[in-house]
Structure 1
């Protein structure tokens, strides 16, 4: 019998480790033959591997918005695209975020790594429930924003000047912003050191807060392009620079695990490892990007490769050891599950889309997930699909079909239909469109999808 939350003598610490653009097939425990991840594989062996764990979007900002709020992105102002340096918006004012839940019941909250949910005044991590922040305001391929405050001790590299902060243009020599608290401390940041620095700060946070319950969110900037890594990991994998970065993240996970053990809190900590979306497979060579394993496509698309994440949960006495969970779950569910785990009050300011999935941690094969469906949105915020049970329906606009066909040679498939129906239990790779053979199933799923049409960007206020 697993330890229940009610029986726990001390509220558990919670650590989330989030990779950026990591593919489903890029961990040893998820089948990689070219990338060695012994630490994360060990967590899977001692904990639970989730084979059907979903995000809500196939790009950074909306996916992270759901992780932080437990709601589909359309409910919290992030239904379309990602935040860029010149953007001013963030999460809605007053919304209760995931770190807010933890703070409500006395946790110390820390974040290390990439935020990407707004960086203008009032929208940075310290404004959104975190007590501590060290990291990047947005993606590592983005330049400085004039909305950001500059530390008086800021390190300027590559001949940059303070005037460069007013530039809002792309450029290889200008990208990468490093912050501590609410101030920029280095520009352009030395991204070869980011994973190492984030790891050091995460370890420091654990050591400084081991006597009280804490929530730590480690959001790596890698393996998002451009790939950067420490010199000691260069050439270590059989998957080029991309694989090297994953192996460095595996090392980082090991350092975090060591800190938990050294401080004696590992037996009272829940750790979740996942990614924000699938690999950016059309953005570079095979050595620069990841693989979705058996899944179709990757980042920016609503097929499984963009939406289903390699996920491991570990927690002695909380999560069963050596189990594989094939039930459907999502980052949406972490918000609700953690609230129940720590005794926090769920907000009533918006509709939550997550479920308490803690029963799955028992590893009991008879336990079913409370989640039986997922919605799929396009990059433009259009509601384009739904999964219900084993069946998945995607409705592609003429514009989407046209854009897809223009670069069909880059895709696994050279044709795209407006209506796609897949049975994921039989065809996880989404090779066989069954729409013509199953018109009644298409109609049923269309009708189900219609219930959520108010979340389509065309219908939002």
Structure 2
């Protein structure tokens, strides 16, 4: 702190005033003095392409995610957390800005955000926080939009064949100042190429596969590699929470775990079915959030920055799409939003294939805006790179002789204009109710709400899924 020098001759006048002030403070009741405790630190741990259904605290059967489960046992688990766009860059831009993809500009994967925006880095800095990030650094440019302190330690490249990390710089950042901090720990697990982690823990023949997958030997072999990285992610969560205990910061640190979007398997990432769009979130806040609790309240990644602002003592920022769910954390509300929205633009990951969605806690409407076209994704269906696309081609090969596999692969490639699902009865969205007259009135209502949202966002639908000129990257 900085003080102006005091003139020597003024001391006789000022000393009694300081003494009186000290006396008055000393006479305050203890409860009154403690009304303004130190602001909480915040640690946000984010996965990369996590199928959140594989976490044992979310019902996963294939491995025990001990450390993430422990976090859930100490906090609040959200069962209806959604990414608005099931791909890395848009989801992270939404997390940091509190805006939906069309409004922040990154409505295609790797498309940069608009450079006039502000983000959580600005909002929390204005409230006295240091805001740091370690690990996957997608969506950290331009610096003017994302003024993070970049911390060495976790691997920044999500397609790195290794995931070596160290915690010494992370520890230094946590303990370097009396100012509170918000630290984003961005793991690259379990993103492809699935080359980290110990696969010997898992027997591929005993794995339980999702109901929307075709069961092939190649799928099971790849799934073992994927789950080994889920284990590695779980261990990283354990190391970070252990570091908080080691530094004595666990009692005044909010820990949030986020699952990002679904895995790079057909029908998950790069789609708007729940296998891609549905995520996970666990919030531990000692003394504020009830331990071992769960909520079905719907939230989206756009809601996190507004919530962090309120956690830090700030007021709601006008113009953001997300809304704070702090009343849910405190137990004062059981509602955060009426609908969760979804958007997908397929370029540059494949041919144009724009999709939009809307859902409430039970039903979901998906609009395929180019239904006459076949869905194609170059990372999963590219015959020129068979070594990176073995799962899909094992599916199509089996589909040639197996009718059930044929239905699953056809569902993925050839889609109707409308899809409508009862998510409670059909969590893998395999029974399209769009043609059932009993649901026509509800579909009409959902469609009206979705179209109103698109208009409010400035979303022109299919017209925006196109190739854009590359912009010079800002520093």
Given that 2:119 and 2:145 are in contact with CA atoms closer than 8 Å, whether structure 1 keeps it comes out as: no
The equivalences for 1:376-395 within 5 A come to 376-380=342-346, 382=354, 384-395=356-367
For residues 11 and 395 of structure 1, what CA distance do their matches in structure 2 show? 44
Given that 2:343 and 2:357 are in contact with CA atoms closer than 8 Å, whether structure 1 keeps it comes out as: yes
The equivalences for 1:98-117 within 5 A come to 98-117=120-139
Structure number, greater radius of gyration: 2
1:19 partnered with 2:18: no
1:456 partnered with 2:428: no
For residues 65 and 214 of structure 1, what CA distance do their matches in structure 2 show? 20
**Corresponding position of 1:361:** 329
Aligned length: 375
For residues 398 and 93 of structure 1, what CA distance do their matches in structure 2 show? 30
Higher helix proportion, which one? 2
Once the two structures are superposed, what CA deviation does each residue of 1:260-297 show, in whole Å capped at 9, x if it has no partner?
A: 11222211111111122111113xxxxxxxxxxxxxx3
- Structure with greater contact order relative to length (CA < 8 Å, sep ≥ 6): 1
**Corresponding position of 1:67:** 95
1:444 partnered with 2:412: no
**Corresponding position of 2:170:** 202
Note closer, same or farther for the CA distance 1:92–1:403 as it changes in structure 2 (3 Å cut).
closer
The equivalences for 1:13-412 within 5 A come to 13-83=41-111, 90-117=112-139, 119=141, 123-124=142-143, 128-134=146-152, 139-141=157-159, 176=160, 191-194=161-164, 196-197=165-166, 199-209=167-177, 211-229=178-196, 233=198, 235-238=200-203, 240-282=224-266, 297-348=267-318, 351-363=319-331, 367-380=333-346, 382=354, 384-399=356-371, 402-403=374-375, 409=399, 412=408
Higher strand proportion, which one? 1
For residues 66 and 441 of structure 1, what CA distance do their matches in structure 2 show? 29
For residues 366 and 450 of structure 2, what CA distance do their matches in structure 1 show? 10
For residues 404 and 390 of structure 1, what CA distance do their matches in structure 2 show? 29
Unaligned runs of 5+ in 1: 1-5, 84-89, 142-175, 177-190, 283-296
For residues 258 and 316 of structure 2, what CA distance do their matches in structure 1 show? 23
Given that 2:83 and 2:260 are in contact with CA atoms closer than 8 Å, whether structure 1 keeps it comes out as: yes
Given that 1:91 and 1:118 are in contact with CA atoms closer than 8 Å, whether structure 2 keeps it comes out as: no
1:431 partnered with 2:430: yes
RMSD: 2.9
Q: TM-score, structure 1 length as denominator?
A: 0.74
For residues 372 and 309 of structure 2, what CA distance do their matches in structure 1 show? 38
**Corresponding position of 2:15:** none
Q: TM-score, structure 2 length as denominator?
A: 0.72
Secondary structure of 1:385's counterpart equals strand
Given that 2:122 and 2:147 are in contact with CA atoms closer than 8 Å, whether structure 1 keeps it comes out as: yes
Secondary structure of 1:192's counterpart equals coil
